[in-house]
Structure 1
Amino acid sequence: MISLFSGAMGLDLGLEDAGFEVVLAVECDAQAVATIKKNKPTLPVIHQRIETVTSEQILKAAGLKAGGNFVVCGGPSCQSFSTAGQRRSLADPRGSLFNHFVRIVRETRPKFFAMENVRGMLSAALKHRPLDQRGPGHPPLEAEEELGSAFRVIVDELKGLNYYVAFDLLNSADYGTPQVRHRLIFLGSRDGKGIAIPKPTHSKDGEGGLAPWTTVRQAIGRFTETNPEGYPLRETEAKYLIHVPEGGNWRNLPQEMQEEALGGAYVSWGGRCGFFRRLAWDKPSPALPTQPYFRATMLCHPVALRPLSIKEYARIQQFPDTWKFAGTVSSRYRQIGNAVPVGLGTAIGQAIKAAWNMHSGKRPLGVVETSNSDLVKKMLNRPVTILNPPRMRGEADEQAHDLWREVTRKRRESAQGYAAAKPAAKPKRKVQSAEPHRESMAADA
């Protein structure tokens, strides 16, 4: 397989567990390249930005020919689709990395491809409109400003590859990873083999005869470090975290300390569940951020007064203890946090392997579909946009906001809808306040 956007190689290690061999890595970050070379000194690495790499260069370095029996895998940089920040989506140069993944697949014609990204890719807008420019006094949303408009473009691009493509939103905890981490997975088959999204092997409480989710205790509970490597806890955070019990966060602070601890975020409408967060022993970890040592993205050890160490971070992502990370402390946290959990990569590899060995049941080419009906319903019924909560809307009354909602809704209903897996009666799309989405937005980020 050819690995694009390789990073610390979490996805690749999982695919190797399933029986594939990485023959080439493409990565632009110097410290991630150093990590690859530290662990796989003989593996060819193209240390360039994907925008400057040609398909001919990739095939030559990998020793492969276009249309051969190999896999292309990777996760284009996901910041553009995250709910954190401005969500510039495909208008952001980072969003165009998806286009380069598609370009490499189109030109090399692998037997299969696997692409992963954040779940925010499902709801990102093609064009970002600032919150203070939505609502009464502003024009209705254009189609490209609606939530989900970027995903429609992504689907069209993938259809253009003339592969059979299956996609779904997967929780890595359902595949034995000690971490609740949602990733959007696309699996493509050049020859139309009926590749299927892997079925879960675990469930929250062992429902359905599956194994229960893997916990933090199982990942790091018996693991001891004399001098844990990582960022120490700053005194400004330590004075609050000492009051947070196992599995708690800022809400467990004494009432008189909460506003002081959160500062301006205390009255903001965004997600706040990550502030001063301490892990629970007997649950999976939340999704690992790239900076677990800041108050807004804190992942504190269940009992020790410190952020998770680099080795603990790696264990939660299921990297082997023998895997070495190069670079600064912050870079190593970032490489690990950005990686795909190895166990999820293994499940993806097993799905590709099963399709590879399939001898019947071909599917139509140029199709992008999911068998997850619940996901389809959520996508069709999601809000068109998000407005500031009432307390941040200025002087305009609720009736004015209702009118703006109605104009936006009618404009949307008159436009051509997204037809993939559309039910007989399409639910009305809503414009919704951001306030009820605090937790889900933080989870997306």
Structure 2
Amino acid sequence: MGHIPEVLTTKEAAEKIGVSEQRVRALLRCGALEGRQAGKQWLTTEAAVQIYLRDGAANPPEDRRRAPGKIPKLKALSFFSGAMGLDLGLEKAGMHFLLACEIDKTCRRTITANRPDIGMIGDIWKYDARQIREYAGLRPDDEIDVMVGGPPCQAFSTAGARRGFHDERGNAILRYVNLILEMRPRFAVIENVRGLLSAPMVHTPHAERGPDWVPDPEERPGGALMHILGLLRAGGYGVSFNLYNAANFGVPQSRERVIMLCSRDGQKLPHLVPTHSQNESFDLPKWRTLRDALEGLDPAAGDHEEFPEARLRFYRLLGPGQYWKHLPKKLHRAALGGSLDAGGGKTGFLRRLDWNKPSCTLVTSPTMPATDICHPEENRPLSVQEYARIQQFPDDWVFCGSIADRYKQIGNAVPVGLGEAVGRAILAHIAGKGKRPPAEYPFSRYKGTDEISWEARTRAVMGLDPDPGTSKRKSKRKARQAATAKAKTRQISLGFAADMEAA
């Protein structure tokens, strides 16, 4: 007779691992801990618990094809999916995702826990267009409505070395663009950090620049995005983009991201339509706050890391909405150390959030010294659950991995509300009811980040001729303005003549 494995309940497993029962159920759902569901109860084994304690998790999910089933009307594919924040937003707008592409092991567990029936692939360089269709459960002639993706952004980060397209992570965006051109979806979405607007094609680190260094033409700011635009336009796609603050779309967080909307019909989609404004301007409700985000969430039930005592001594002196500058001046040196002499405002140090404002941008860890994020009242970082609320994930969305893993997944995600705004813009274009945002609406802290202003400025800096399309648009606009002025002049003249005749 074979050995019968010792079966454990979630309570028994929780005691052995040293976590809550809720956490054990999450581990089971995402496959990090092997087990099975019997009715409403989850069961695991002593052997599975020992593997988890030894290795940290079971083997990550393998690449898989989408489960057989009806093909939805609006078909979407997700790339660089992460924890699926952007995808959830488009789902809320009416899209249906057939496949996720993600190489990170912990994110793959998260995707499997929440969307076990969709297809999943890992390394984007190992699959061609035909194979991606197969894994998504699509026939060769099935239309793909939307491809969405946020390629790794480290290569374009203003805080990094900015190696640009010579960095393997930078090439990820080119791989994604080439797949768009090969797979020909009706619409494509590219999400990235603000640094994409100024990233060059090539970057020489400052340490390698000698006294006679002269920048290569490929090192001019904006070269990377200009190259991407050229590829997409040559492929027949109309492209619009802007830098958007997620708070303008109902997200209780101030977070700026570049969103590019690409349309195969060659038309440019309007910029995203905001739902909120900072000061109730444009007849829109005020930005949602941290208090709105955390309403009804039990703060005692959250998982969170801890600040070191050396930092807590300063946090105890700070109230909601304050940061290191609100400490007594005599403590500034002790609080920041050598960083006090660094340039910039150092606004990321010792931050307590304000209940009545949106959260700051969530980072991949709330306990890092220069970017720490403290609860408005309690002397602790925000919890994983509070992170998820601020990014607008559903409360039942399962995040796999350690606390650090979960912070990272959520911090890297696109807020759900911003994704929903993208979905609404695409659906409105499909329906022929494209709505435009209010004129002069401030989408972010910066001006001139839309595709027209950005390209005109970048071409001038790079010494390039004006974009022919832009020149034609300007000519047409001037012609319309001249015609309108002429008509008004004629109308005034006729009115004056009539008045003279009546006199």
What amino acid is the match of 1:78? C
Shift of 1:105: 0.8
Aligned length: 384
In the other structure, the counterpart of 1:60 is 134
User: Secondary structure of the equivalent of 1:288?
Assistant: coil
In the other structure, the counterpart of 1:173 is 247
Shift of 1:421: 4.6
In the other structure, the counterpart of 1:196 is 270
Is residue 198 of structure 2 the alignment partner of residue 150 of structure 1? no
Query: How do residues 237-252 of structure 1 correspond to structure 2 at under 5 angstroms?
Result: 237-252=311-326
Q: Are the counterparts in 1 of residues 320 and 354 from structure 2 also a CA contact under 8 Å?
A: yes
User: Secondary structure of the equivalent of 2:143?
Assistant: coil
Using a 3 Å threshold, how does the CA distance of structure 1 residues 80 and 226 change in structure 2: closer, same or farther? same
Unmatched runs of 5 consecutive residues or more in structure 1:
362-371, 385-411, 425-445
Using a 3 Å threshold, how does the CA distance of structure 1 residues 209 and 264 change in structure 2: closer, same or farther? same
1:120 to 168, 171, 195: 195
In the other structure, the counterpart of 1:320 is 394
Shift of 1:297: 1.1
Using a 3 Å threshold, how does the CA distance of structure 1 residues 271 and 74 change in structure 2: closer, same or farther? farther
The whole-number CA distance in structure 1 between the counterparts of 2:405 and 2:466 is 40
For normalisation by structure 2, the TM-score amounts to: 0.71
Percent of counterpart pairs with the same letter? 41
Q: Are the counterparts in 1 of residues 144 and 184 from structure 2 also a CA contact under 8 Å?
A: no
Using a 3 Å threshold, how does the CA distance of structure 1 residues 282 and 417 change in structure 2: closer, same or farther? farther
The whole-number CA distance in structure 2 between the counterparts of 1:223 and 1:62 is 36
Using a 3 Å threshold, how does the CA distance of structure 1 residues 380 and 254 change in structure 2: closer, same or farther? farther
What amino acid is the match of 1:267? D
Shift of 1:269: 2.4
The whole-number CA distance in structure 1 between the counterparts of 2:461 and 2:128 is 42
- Output the aligned Cα RMSD: 2.5
What amino acid is the match of 1:30? K
Provide Cα deviations, 1:372-425, integer angstroms capped at 9, x if missing partner: 86645567668x9xxxxxxxxxxxxxxxxxxxxxxxxxxx8784356475899x
Provide Cα deviations, 1:2-53, integer angstroms capped at 9, x if missing partner: 010111000100000001101111110010010011111212211x221222
Provide Cα deviations, 1:112-134, integer angstroms capped at 9, x if missing partner: 11111111100122222334566
Provide Cα deviations, 1:107-156, integer angstroms capped at 9, x if missing partner: 11111111111111001222223345669x33232222222222222222
Shift of 1:171: 1.0
Provide Cα deviations, 1:166-213, integer angstroms capped at 9, x if missing partner: 111111110000011111111111123552222111000110100110
Query: How do residues 365-384 of structure 1 correspond to structure 2 at under 5 angstroms?
Result: 375=450, 377=453
The whole-number CA distance in structure 2 between the counterparts of 1:229 and 1:215 is 22
Shift of 1:349: 0.4
Q: Are the counterparts in 2 of residues 66 and 108 from structure 1 also a CA contact under 8 Å?
A: no
In the other structure, the counterpart of 1:38 is 113
In the other structure, the counterpart of 1:81 is 156
Shift of 1:263: 2.5
Is residue 407 of structure 2 the alignment partner of residue 333 of structure 1? yes
Shift of 1:244: 2.2
Unmatched runs of 5 consecutive residues or more in structure 2:
1-75, 436-446, 475-503
What amino acid is the match of 1:126? M
Q: Are the counterparts in 2 of residues 67 and 110 from structure 1 also a CA contact under 8 Å?
A: no
What amino acid is the match of 1:72? M
Instruction: Return the structure number with greater relative CO, CA threshold 8 A, min gap 6.
Output: 1
Larger radius of gyration: 2
Using a 3 Å threshold, how does the CA distance of structure 1 residues 85 and 355 change in structure 2: closer, same or farther? same
1:289 to 363, 369, 372: 363
Query: How do residues 269-284 of structure 1 correspond to structure 2 at under 5 angstroms?
Result: 269-270=343-344, 272-284=346-358
1:416 to 454, 464, 467: 464
The whole-number CA distance in structure 1 between the counterparts of 2:461 and 2:97 is 47
In the other structure, the counterpart of 1:300 is 374
For normalisation by structure 1, the TM-score amounts to: 0.80
